[in-house]
Chains A and B, each alone.
Chain A
Amino acid sequence: MIHFDQVSKRYASGHEALSQLSFEVASGEMAFVTGHSGAGKSTLLKLLGVIERPSRGVITLDGKNLGRIRRRGIPKLRQGIGMVFQDHRLLMERTVFANVELPLVIGGIARQQRAARVRMALQKVGLLAYERQLPDTLSAGEQQRVGIARAIVAQPALLIADEPTGNLDPQLAVEIMGLFAEFQEAGTTVLVASHDLPLIKRMKKRVIVLDHGRLVADLAAQEVL
């Protein structure tokens, strides 16, 4: 599903965030991308979301070359990717329900179907009772779960998460990762950037390790200690 072939990313400042990175993630697979701060984890996810373009190399997602995708094609591509951010990026003026419903509105789903799907997603993250509340009345963990519900509501084939447990206590972090694992079991491809090694080890999934933008290890689930 995801194919990185000799991908490099150099920013305008001259900083090379990724260097000749090559790996593949199969459809329905879950993988962690880890490394120290500045290793290139976030850049990798930005390239997948076409927030950034590669300087060299080829990234393909379901056979589509992301480097060549036109600007007008980006929204459609992003509609097929669920994104979870460390800082949630929720719209605080709107209810939990409205936040989760956004991708469906953007995707042109009929109103009646939207209501059912939003509740389904909220139920999955355990926040069905909070649908009328505003996000700032929720805890950090609950807000992150709203962000996850928003990411999965449009039934994306790919779910990417950038440090989704960065602001959460260990117990909540485990719960959130458990949710991602459930989505993977249901067939979604999941790619999570995290530097929380104990949590990654606990999940027993594939781990891609970056250091200064280079791939230094690609460990299969059974290799993770």
Chain B
Amino acid sequence: MNTPVEGTSAPGQPGANGPQDAPLRAVAGVGSPHRHGRRRRFANWCEHHRWSASASLRRLAARPLGSLLTIAVMGLALALPLAFFLLLGNVHKFGEALGQNQAISVFLQPELGTQQAQLLAVQLRARPEVAVVRLRTPQQGMDELAGMQGFSGALELLDHNPLPYVLQLQPRAGVNADGMARLITDVRAMHGVDLVQDAGTWRQRLDALLGVGNRVVLVLASLLALAALLVVGNTVRVDIAGRAEEIGVLLLIGANPAFVRRPHVYAGAWYGLFGGALASLLAAGIEWSLAVPVRQLSHAYAGKLQVQSLPLWVLLGVPVATAALGWLAARLVSAWQLRRAQ
């Protein structure tokens, strides 16, 4: 443990009195308490904070291997939940790209004509669960297929349009799962309906899976944050144990626990900051390495997919949060160690 002593008051600095003229009483005066205002105390407190921050940084730099290992362990531990967070975000985006809404596609029997299809559309519009019914003709379906990569050649080989009329139902907002199930059962039973495809069920399952994934990421992030906290705590504990004699001297000559603790608390904050920064860099690296394969996947889905990056606030917020975490760990451990030392 160092204090803001070395290099702060360099020899030759002007003092209040010249030492040569100073009488003994000025040094060994009786009961002369330090009289200085709150402002000066505050300035001194700030000075000690500044010094503690820089001294703890120098101490980290003085043992680069140990510091780097601690930072690397923290960085890797914290990069993992970030990577999962990135993955989940992209799965969510992927799900959105594949099905924007909870639409139900009703494929009519191929022999049904326009009038019958319109009649069915009218019947469905009358249902309270249905908000919108869109009729898609076989020609519209064929045009859409023709626009998709790889289909145009195949479609030219067909001598007639095999696609049926399709009714796309958009349920009203607020319809629950039971209402949706009833609607689907009723539609399936309608005359002229060949197939009912429920995008909503698929979406619900994906959303449920994403919910599980989010919870897993949260639990994982909490556990790994705890691990990071323990790593910092243990590093600070070892550091304090190595400086027990020095701490003992400081306490004997009147240092309060906050004074002794301060450089260690800053060391914890530095570990957290650098560990978090490394985690953000690793996450950005993972994102960068996945960019090319995801772009290829996006092409396969006619460019509907877009890679979701980690937001800037997450990348910047992680080091800040981990610095606070490191500070907390160091604060707790150093307080405990000092209580024992006292």
Contacts and interface: CB of A to CB of B under 8 A. Distances in A.
A136 to B, nearest CB: 14
A121 B27 contact: yes
A79 B256 CA distance: 10
A182 interface: yes
A206 interface: no
Given A75-B255, A120-B22, A152 B28 contact: yes
B89 interface: no
By secondary structure, the A interface counts as: helix
A94 B34 contact: no
B252 A115 contact: no
Contacts of B32: 155, 157
B28 A109 contact: no
A111 B47 contact: yes
B30 A27 contact: yes
Interface residues of B, number: 52
Contact of B252 (A83, A108, A157, A189): A83
Contacts of A150: 253
Contacts of B36: 108-110
A44 interface: no
B328 to A, nearest CB: 22
A102 B43 contact: no
A212 interface: no
B254 A107 contact: yes
Interface stretch (B10-18, B201-209, B265-273, B278-286): B10-18
A178 to B, nearest CB: 12
B340 to A, nearest CB: 13
A205 interface: no
Interface in B20-74: 20, 22-34, 36, 40-41, 43-45, 47-48
The 6 A-B pairs of least Cβ separation, nearest first, read A116-B15, A79-B254, A98-B5, A187-B30, A78-B254, A157-B31
Given A105-B5, A108-B34, 5 more contacts: A91-B246, A95-B6, A112-B13, A120-B17, A155-B32
Interface of A: 27-28, 49, 51, 62, 71-72, 75-81, 83, 89-91, 93-95, 97-99, 101-103, 105-124, 128, 131-132, 150, 152-155, 157, 159, 182-183, 185-189
Interface of B: 2-6, 8-11, 13-20, 22-34, 36, 40-41, 43-45, 47-48, 245-246, 248-257, 259, 342
